[in-house]
Chain A
Amino acid sequence: MDATIAGILTLDGLSNGAVYALLALATVLVFAVTRVIFIPQGEFVAFGALTLALLQAGKVPGTVWFLLVLAAAVALQDLVNGLRQRHGAGALLKQALRTLAWPVAVSALALWAAPKGLPLLAQAALTVALVTPFGTLLYRLAYESLAEASVLVLLIVSVGVHFALVGLGLFFFGAEGFRNPSFWDARFSIGALTLSGQTVIIFSASLALIVGLWLFFERSLAGKALRATAVNQLGARLMGISTRSAGRLSFTMAAFIGALSGLLIGPTTTVFYDSGFLIGLKGFVAAVFAGLASYPLALVGALGVGLLESFGSFWSSPYKEVIVFSAILPVLLWRSLRDPHSEEH
């Protein structure tokens, strides 16, 4: 290995790591606020990339129907709950309207826009608008009624949600993979390294999102509410913060980050309906590195995972996943030695 190869590998590792970082941040965020280890985080990546790919092909993406079905299921669940608690017809209608309005509106927009062949950026925006509501809908359907359950129960629900999403992904997107066009075709040479426009976009989008998240948590009321919920649920509730809406908001953000990651990674690799899992899992490794608590550590962990993956595949490509996932073992050991705590049941 010489400096050039090391440079190329580093660049490759960092650009993958930047995407893992986003997913790691989302995982940490969701866990901190809701105590859900959100395994299906990666699925949003695949959904984002595939939705854009199908829009590019001028077809109506399966996400549209999926979203409508999911929204209808949530509305139905609300209706049943409302009837049980004997809410008035007006309140029920208002609630259903609030659940269905955004999904139906954005689906209608997608149905209208799909055959039109809009510019890439407009389609990307539409994709994010389509995938983001999945977060809150999934939370309401699968997790909200279990909000008080143990971490283990929530983890098992996550596994179930993951399998359901992968299966439905196959149904709605088909088995074939897609590769999206690059958002920016430019190429820059720095010595022997070539930096593609897409890599620049990945880095800057990740950076922008991280800064945005930081501002959100530090400056905005909603962000502070999320932080408060993460620190102490009961305390936050006593202060008048709805933990329920905090959960919904954190899942919405997770879905948004996932969709965005899908857009970023779509032009650099072929994305399949089941691609998300491994990508999400690498984000999860980084999140574990941060003890599912610290955002800056998650960022460092994710870049580390990206680098390890890149150098690992260069040295020994058959064992690359083994190398990446074995790296979690010393981290777990270190974490459990550093802050030992009793098992939660």
Chain B
Amino acid sequence: MKLLRKTMAAATALLATAAFADVNIGVTLSLTGPASGLGIPVGNQFKLWPKEIAGEKINLVVLDDASDPGKGVGNARRFVTEDKVDILFGGSITVVSAAIAPIATEAKTPQLSIAPVGVPPEQEHWVFRLPQGFTVMAHPIVEQMKKTGIKTLGFLGYTDAYGESWLKEMEKQAGAAGIKIVAVERFARTDTSVTPQALKLVSANPDAILVVASGSGAAMPQLGLAERGYKGKVYQTHAAATPDLVRIGGKSVEGTFVVSGPAVVAEQLPDSHPSKKVAVDFVTKYEAAYGAGSRNQFAGHAYDALIVMQKVLPEALKKAKPGTPEFRAALRDGIENMGRTIFAHGVMNWTPADHWGYTNETGVLLKVDNGKFVVVP
């Protein structure tokens, strides 16, 4: 009996060390709840991850936070106390990412957010973002406006944080390019009418109007503008780069410029775009697993996360053993100093001063042409 107990103890110890040496990765995603539409594709892509990276077995622990920051915090606590993860991915929505950032900082564990999130300066050290920030997305829009001689701009955006962030970014970049914002109007996704806002914008008569809205909500303001006979150019942001824009907008959105990340328009990218090869690889593999047309920007972030791991893991393994604070610090340093890296979503270059990191090569301007998105050369 005593012998048996001893052998069991030894076996357990052995198992524990084996598990200890694996790289543990905690992923919290909104797989249910209102934001599940964004979280589920990310989860799908994590299912396509390999079992080993750089010869090291990886344990992916994927938990659902039900689009609830409170639950996300619970998941993150579990990751750092029970699973002793070496790196955290998530959340897939901004509120969850923001809620778990303090825990990542406290546990000195790097966090790669799958949603754009701003955090207080003291937490910035451990947080990196996989999606593009507004700066790189506004860049191609403003460049195109400059090129086509647009002098005045109208703004019609959501009353929420998304609209506000875009407004701030456009004020900065358009101002620098000598484009004057002549009218700023706001609306909400569930509004019954944008006629008053459209009226005001059309009477200000700007050369172009930027509509800041998402998904199927992006079409309504354009229909409103068309109704009021606006003839200038209309620009849309990357949240509008979905087939829903055309499904609802129909003829009224013809000729609209939409900025997008490169991942979803992989095949159409000009060969000169640095992300072309990686983006094509991402969509081919994702659609092979989940069916034609299933591609989306959210899954792309999980694909890029793997690129990060493949790049920083071998280096970190040289410095320390998984499961130790040194290893987590080595991972963090590796991410911060990994240099120019090609993602499916663009060109990433995290630096100590910039944990958003995408370079201006990232954004792609699309145009709606006969109901399809085509890349503007």
Contacts and interface: CB of A to CB of B under 8 A. Distances in A.
Given A176-B244, A317-B185, A9 B216 contact: no
Most chain A CB neighbours (cut-off 10 Å) among B190, B194, B216: B190
A311 interface: yes
A274 B190 contact: yes
Nearest to B216: A177
B196 A269 contact: no
Interface string B186-198: 1111111111110
Contacts of A275: 190
B34 A175 contact: yes
A179 B193 contact: no
B195 A8 contact: yes
B248 interface: yes
Interface string A107-137: 0000000000000000000000000000000
Nearest to A57: B247
B363 interface: no
Contact of B199 (A179, A265, A314): A314
Given A170-B34, A176-B215, A179-B219, A318 B192 contact: no
B195 A12 contact: yes
B133 interface: no
Given A175-B37, A177-B217, A178-B248, A313 B187 contact: yes
Given A272-B189, A318-B159, A177 B215 contact: yes
A177 B195 contact: no
Nearest to A275: B190
A290 B358 CA distance: 56
A314 B190 contact: no
Interface string A168-198: 0010001111110000000000000000000
Interface residues of B, number: 27
A19 B193 CA distance: 12
Nearest to B201: A317
Contacts of B159: 317-318
Given A178-B216, A270-B216, A12 B189 contact: no
A313 B197 contact: yes
Contacts of A277: 190
B35 to A, nearest CB: 9
| Interface SS of chain A | helix
Contacts of A269: 191-193, 220
Contacts of A270: 216-217, 219-220, 248
B179 to A, nearest CB: 21
Contact of A268 (B190, B193, B197, B215): B193
B7 interface: no
A12 B199 CA distance: 11
A278 interface: yes
B269 to A, nearest CB: 26
A321 B158 CA distance: 13
Contacts of A268: 192-193
Contact of B196 (A9, A174, A278, A279): A9
Interface in A258-292: 265, 268-270, 272, 274-275, 277-279
Nearest to A271: B190
A19 B217 contact: no
B372 interface: no
A250 interface: no
A318 B194 CA distance: 12
A16 interface: yes
A149 interface: no
Given A177-B215, A178-B248, A317 B34 contact: no
B196 A177 contact: no
A163 B223 CA distance: 30
A5 interface: yes
Nearest to A265: B192
B203 interface: yes
A310 B196 contact: yes
B33 to A, nearest CB: 9
Nearest to B223: A179
A317 B187 contact: yes
B216 A279 contact: no
A20 to B, nearest CB: 9
B196 A314 contact: yes
A270 B159 CA distance: 17
B200 interface: yes
Nearest to A166: B34
B197 A9 contact: no
Contact of A176 (B190, B203, B216): B216
Given A176-B216, A177-B244, A178-B216, A314 B200 contact: yes
Interface in A230-278: 265, 268-270, 272, 274-275, 277-278
A11 to B, nearest CB: 9
A270 B185 CA distance: 18
B39 to A, nearest CB: 12
A272 B248 CA distance: 12
B219 A310 contact: no
A318 B37 CA distance: 28
B171 to A, nearest CB: 15
A195 B191 CA distance: 20
Contacts of A272: 189-190, 216-217
Contacts of B187: 313, 317
A16 B248 contact: no
Nearest to A175: B37
B203 to A, nearest CB: 7
Contacts of A9: 195-196, 199
Nearest to A8: B199
Interface of A: 5, 8-9, 12, 16, 19, 170, 174-179, 265, 268-270, 272, 274-275, 277-279, 310-314, 317-318, 321
13 contacts: A8-B199, A19-B192, A175-B34, A176-B215, A177-B215, A178-B216, A268-B192, A269-B192, A278-B188, A312-B196, A314-B196, A314-B200, A317-B185
Interface of B: 34, 37, 159, 185-197, 199-200, 203, 215-217, 219-220, 223, 244, 248
Given A179-B219, A179-B220, A275-B190, 5 more contacts: A12-B196, A174-B37, A175-B37, A268-B193, A313-B187
Closest 6 CB pairs of A and B: A177-B216, A314-B196, A313-B196, A12-B195, A318-B186, A275-B190
